[in-house]
Chains A and B, each alone.
Chain A
Amino acid sequence: MPEQLQKVRPTAPGSGGGDGAGPSAPKVEKPDVKNLLERMKKVDPDQARRYRQRTGQ
């Protein structure tokens, strides 16, 4: 293995360190999207029709 691939970096204090439990999924407060939904109303309904792209890779 190239030496760089084996480079060991310091572990941050207090990090999990692979103790097996791992963090549980965060309790996410769902964002309030009222304003975002209002903004979405202003999106041009036809902009995807104008988005004419060539096939790339």
Chain B
Amino acid sequence: MTRLAGIETEYGCLTLDPNGSLETVRRVRDWLFAGSRYGLIDRQQRDWDEPAGNGGFLFNGGRAYLDMGHLELCTAECLGLRDLIAHDAAGDALICEALSALRIGNRTGFIRNNVDHYSGATFGCHENYLVRRSAPLNERNVLSLLAFLTLRVLYTGAGKVGGVGVAEARISNEAASGSVPFQLSQRADYIQNDLFEWVQFNRAIINTRDEPLADARRFRRLHLLHGDTSVLPDTLALKIGTTSLVLDLLEIDHLPKVALLDAVGEFRKLSANPSGPWIVELAESGPRDAVELLGEYYEVARAEFGGRDAETDEVLASWKAALDALAGDVSQLVGTVDWVTKRWLFTQFVEAEGIAWDSAWLKSQDLEFHHTDPKRCLARQLIAPDSPWNPREEDVAAARSAPPSDTRAAARSRLMRFLSSEGLSGFVDWEVVDTEGVNPLMLLDPFDAHPADAGPWCEEVRQAIRRKESGARDPGSRRGSDAAR
């Protein structure tokens, strides 16, 4: 990619532990940070709902914390798509390692999905893309971006058994998916608006929160919460890779002119129609084939960026293959696209067992498809053998503790290890590191893995330590100094 991206995953917890899932989630969080095993726990309150000890940054550049009862893991800022995929997988690996070390893996599992089929609760997988501040966000481009983010569900959906009731989705009877046996998206039922800033109850396809976590004069952050948690690596690559390319088009003002009449309505209709054909209503020109529209984005991206670098060409190739299959034989995406794979497998299970699509057993299989334990995850057994995006085991293992080498995450990781080695507590955030006795070090360029002022800052910290130690050895001089003020 030519931009930074990262994802935040809220995990569900399935446990037989009599103490319940929240206690289990806390134990896993505490294990990650115990003895600075994988990161540094926050010693200060971060926000009103993030008290000290709620979570912290990881040495791999990401974050782990509790959010509304869920264990949430954020990846580091990644420039390479393969780095992002490896860091996403490393989150699962960390959880599995914790469960094994705590010896509770036999009665507890974590699920990377987005719904509780029975209560209707939903929890997200948020995508974050760094976008240059000067990107032309005029009405035409925003509508085109909105259309793409709606249509991409055809190859990014994780698939879901069943619909959702009116009350849980907070929508009208007419719009509720209700008794739909299977749909493409886990989140479509919960998206109410095209553009809005809330992250609960009135979720939008484009979340308008503008919090760049970097130099705000140069960057903005596109925060998306309408996507599903991807399971297959190719689905994750398609989701992040093609969205990044479309943002590349936005920045050069070359997005195709596409505007849906009702993006939220089309999102739900596409999701509730796994068999196709996928026809959507455009604002000005009536019905169009959704795959053909996605093809317009692909064609412009290929013309602009084809040959730019190896990764871009790989994303374009995967994108083209996905669109060709969607237009022809969708089953060619088994092992590549989550919802296609899930539907294909579950269809065979339904036929073999003679059960209905609304069977409780199938909802349980739906969780198993998303299990973080690689031995249990149904989807992982079906990863295409020639998948170009399946991360190497050694890369995932390394990403548990090592940051991407080419982003700010590397600098933050080194600074965290420095603080840890000096026995100091500090405040760590995406764009700042601080500790007692010195000015905070700002990390406002997220592309800078080696900020020039990091070394001098560490030396200042050492000097502050020496001053403090010398004051402690000679308390009389400090009293004298205090008295002189």
Question: A residues near B, CB below 8 A?
Answer: 1-2, 4-12, 15-20, 22-28, 30-31, 33, 36-37, 40-41, 43-57
Interface of A is mostly: loop
Closest to B198 in A: A57
**B residues in contact with A30, CB < 8 Å:** 331, 334, 344
Chain B residues lying within 8 Å of A15, measured Cβ to Cβ, are 307, 310, 313-314
Q: Contacting chain A: which of B57-65, B111-119, B427-435, B472-480?
A: B111-119
Interface size on B, residues (CB 8 A): 78
CB of A31 within 8 A of CB of B368, answer: no
Q: B residues touching A (Cβ–Cβ < 8 Å)?
A: 2-3, 10, 12-14, 16, 21, 67-70, 72, 111, 116-119, 121-124, 126, 132, 134, 199-200, 218-219, 225, 251, 302-303, 305-311, 313-314, 316-317, 320-322, 324-325, 328-329, 331-336, 344-345, 348-349, 352-353, 359-361, 363-368, 378, 381-382, 384, 386, 447
Contact of A16 among B317, B353, B382, B384 (CB under 8 A): B317
Q: Count the A-B residue pairs with Cβ separation under 8 angstroms: how many? A: 181
A10, A22, A46 pick with most chain B CB within 10 angstroms? A22
Distance, CA A52 to CA B361, complexed state (A)? 16
Contacts of B348 in A (CB 8 A): 33, 37
**Residues of chain A within 8 A of B361, CB atoms compared:** 43, 45
Task: Indicate if the CB atoms of B306 and A18 lie closer than 8 Å.
Answer: yes
Beta-carbon nearest neighbor of A56 in chain B: B123
A15 to B335, CA, bound (A): 23
By beta carbon, the residue of chain A nearest B323 is: A25
Asked if B2 contacts A5 (CB within 8 A), the reply is yes
Judged by DSSP, the binding face of B is: mixed
User: B123 to A18, Cβ gap below 8 A?
Assistant: no
* Bound Cα distance from A46 to B361, whole angstroms: 7
Which 10 pairs across A and B sit closest by C-beta, in order of nearness?
A18-B306, A56-B123, A9-B309, A12-B310, A22-B320, A48-B363, A4-B447, A17-B307, A45-B361, A25-B324
What CA separation (Å) do A15 and B302 show in the bound complex?
Answer: 13
